[in-house]
Amino acid sequence: MSEMNTPDAPFATEDAAPQPLLRTLAPLLRGLVRPLRAWLENRRKFPLSMMQRAELEGLAEDLQRQSEMLDVEKPLLVVMLMGGTGVGKSTLLNALAGGPIAQASFTRPTTRDPVVYFHHSVKSERLDPALRVCRLVQHDRAGLEQKVIVDTPDLDSNDLTNRDKLIALLPVADIVLYVGSQEKYHDRLGWDLFKEQRHRRAFAFVLNKWDRCVTGESGVQPDEDLLADLKAEGFQNPLLFRTTAQLWLDAANVYSGSGNPPKPAGLPAGEQFSLLRNWLELGLTRLEIEAVKARGVGQLLTQLTRFAETIRPPDLSVESEKVKSVWERTLAEEADVQADVLVGTLEPYQTEVEHHFSVEDQSRFRGLMAAYLRVTTRLRYAGSGLRDKIPFGGLKGRLLGGRVDTPVEWNLGAFVQECARTAGERVLDQRSTALINRLLVEGEAKGFPLTLLTDPATCAGRLDWRERMTRGVIEALAEVERQATNPTGFRRLIRGALSLMANTLPEIALVATVGTLLWNFFVPTPPVIPDFFQMSLVVLIPLIVIVALHLLILLLLPVRWPAIRYQFRKQLGVRLAAELGHAYLAIPGEVSTAIQEEREQVDSLIAEAKQVADWLAERQQAAQVAELYGKSSRDQEFTLPRDSTASRGI
């Protein structure tokens, strides 16, 4: 902006047209809006709060609006008047227009409160949709050809719809002209709105009704107080105009000539309405307009970058390993407890289980030993019929089939499934819920956000654990049975030797005994006629051999519930631990991986925003427009291009 020496000094115009900075910036912004909206619409593991989502959607809408407004040959600068009731916003606009614009012709009937003042060469279709529904007033002032001035409803009106209209219009503004008076220049509502909006758009300040401020009374004047407040907010050298708009409007009403009316008489010292008018008409050239537009985009990009950094998902890779480690111990303990519970459900049927294993083990024997074992086993387990002992009502018949004489007929799967159902009803269902709660507490204690673990852990808890437990019990019993019937190592050698002897020695003893008796009867003279005792040896000797071998089998390869229980408990614990680990241990890693992907998406969005911001900063520097902005004490917050004399009102 050109230098000014006095408040009424004219502004210099630009010497050459600037490079087409904004037309190039528009597609860059559109390219940034697309991934931002896609990221908002996608389903994510790391949640956004309602306020965070609203903030991001607002930034996306602002970027989209900027891209549309910049993609034109001559961009429009929207200057929006904002202030409380009675500060003189409408009077200020009328004074700038040179008369009551409410009496001008309107392009269409619209809402009565907001007023949009724009050049007749600008088609209304070029205005932002939010402005088209306002009261549209055209003019032919060449100095305001690329500027649109908007008078907004009072922000502190008792009618809440007025404040809603103001909030809806603010995103359209490039420059907000904050209008105050000696009574209202730092009201809470207006000041809070200013602090909220200053991160997205430029602000200049008007202290209207200046004649009431210079009363000569002692104390801090309103302008000094306002400047101090603005400095505290980071505005080191704010653009502040002190005006008495009513006097200028009165002068305009009686002025019948062309051009701007002359300065009215009786202006208070330091009054700067003419400076404000010259700044709007001559100071904001196309170069300044593009600079303000670009700087507004820079503010949006900076705010987007900062906000995206605050919502960037954390890196949970370390925490996921810690959670996995502590969960492994917890799941191992839980597997032990569940294994004990399931084994406990089989305890009442240990005789039946032992009977079943005995019969399966005896399947390798043949001949006399097999017959002997069938008889002794039937006698030994004569009271262990499952049909009569399992308390499952109508399921008994289905568990055993139609026969009761041997456990070989068991439907082992149905039996185990019923045992698992009983255990689930008594203990395991409650333990599943308690396990999930314990895992969540431990995960949170290791720094993993509870909200990220709750849903997948709950889904894992809803799996068909009874079916998994049943499968584990059946597989464990099958493995124990396999080990019992097909041992390995030294036991395999012993088993083979005993099986060979049991399948041959009884028959050899029988043949030898019978052969001896026949030999003594036919060969010697006189023949030896066997008596009853000798005849009983045909049965006793093989029986003694069979009993001896049986005792040896029971001694070396016992089939007893304690041994079966130990192996079954061991195998079942391993399988349940594997099932629990498969269901739960992958959760922290999967969530961490998903969160890392979302983090990379946010990083990519931040990188693209910074790339556009860096490009914009380079172009601004090349065009020598960055120096037109007053410096702020807060990083990345900007004020308007200004002249030191106008800003301080000296």
Average pLDDT over every residue of 39-55? 85
Task: Please say if the pLDDT value at position 641 is more than 70.
Answer: no
Report which of 643, 367, 319 is spatially closest to residue 501, judged by C-alpha positions: 367
What is the structure's pLDDT at 412? 58
Res. 218 pLDDT band, cuts 50 70 90? low
Average pLDDT over every residue of 229-233? 86
More confident: 536 or 480: 536
With beta carbons less than 8 A apart as the criterion, state whether 640 and 204 touch: yes
Rounded Cα distance between 310 and 411, Å, is: 61
Q: 513-548 as b/e, with b when 16 or more CB fall inside 10 Å? A: beeebeeeeeeeeeeeebeeeeeebbeebbbebbee
Task: Please say if the pLDDT value at position 471 is more than 90.
Answer: no
What is the structure's pLDDT at 213? 84
Rounded Cα distance between 563 and 480, Å, is: 10
> Which residue in this structure is represented by tokens 């429009």?
76
Q: Give the pTM.
A: 0.61
Report which of 218, 189, 172 is spatially closest to residue 87, judged by C-alpha positions: 189
What is the structure's pLDDT at 182? 85
The gap from C-alpha 528 to its chain's centroid, in whole angstroms, comes to 100
Rounded Cα distance between 8 and 10, Å, is: 6
Rounded Cα distance between 253 and 240, Å, is: 26
Compute the mean pLDDT over every residue in the chain, rounded to the nearest whole number: 79
Run of H or E residues at 162: helix 160-169
3-class secondary structure for 104-152?
A: CCECCCCCCCCEEEEECCCCHHHCCHHHHCCEEEEECCHHHCCEEEEEC
More confident: 192 or 69: 192
Res. 22 pLDDT band, cuts 50 70 90? confident
Average pLDDT over every residue of 27-33? 88
Report which of 234, 231, 157, 237 is spatially closest to residue 190, judged by C-alpha positions: 157
Q: What are the distances in angstroms from CA 132 to CA 106, 153, 289, 441, 463? A: 12, 16, 21, 55, 57
What is the structure's pLDDT at 78? 93
What is the structure's pLDDT at 20? 58
Q: What is the percent of the chain where pLDDT is above 70?
A: 82
Other beta carbons within 10 angstroms of residue 257's beta carbon come to 7
Task: Please say if the pLDDT value at position 320 is more than 80.
Answer: yes
Other beta carbons within 10 angstroms of residue 224's beta carbon come to 11
Helix (H, G, I), strand (E, B) or coil at 343: helix
Residue 40 φ then ψ, to 5°: -70, -35
Residues sharing a CB contact under 8 Å with residue 300, sequence separation 6 or more, in sequence order: 59, 62, 63, 66, 200
Record the tokens describing residue 583, joined without a space. Answer: 């269901």
Question: In residues, how long is the chain?
Answer: 650
Res. 265 pLDDT band, cuts 50 70 90? confident
Other beta carbons within 10 angstroms of residue 146's beta carbon come to 18
Average pLDDT over every residue of 268-296? 85
As a whole number of Å, the end-to-end CA separation of the chain is 19
What is the structure's pLDDT at 207? 93
Residues sharing a CB contact under 8 Å with residue 156, sequence separation 6 or more, in sequence order: 84, 85, 163, 184, 187, 189, 190
Task: Please say if the pLDDT value at position 378 is more than 60.
Answer: yes
3-class secondary structure for 226-241?
A: HHHHHHHCCECCCCEE
Average pLDDT over every residue of 636-641? 37
What is the structure's pLDDT at 555? 84
Domains present along the chain, CATH in parentheses: 21-311+600-648 (3.40.50.300), 314-364+386-487+566-584 (no CATH)
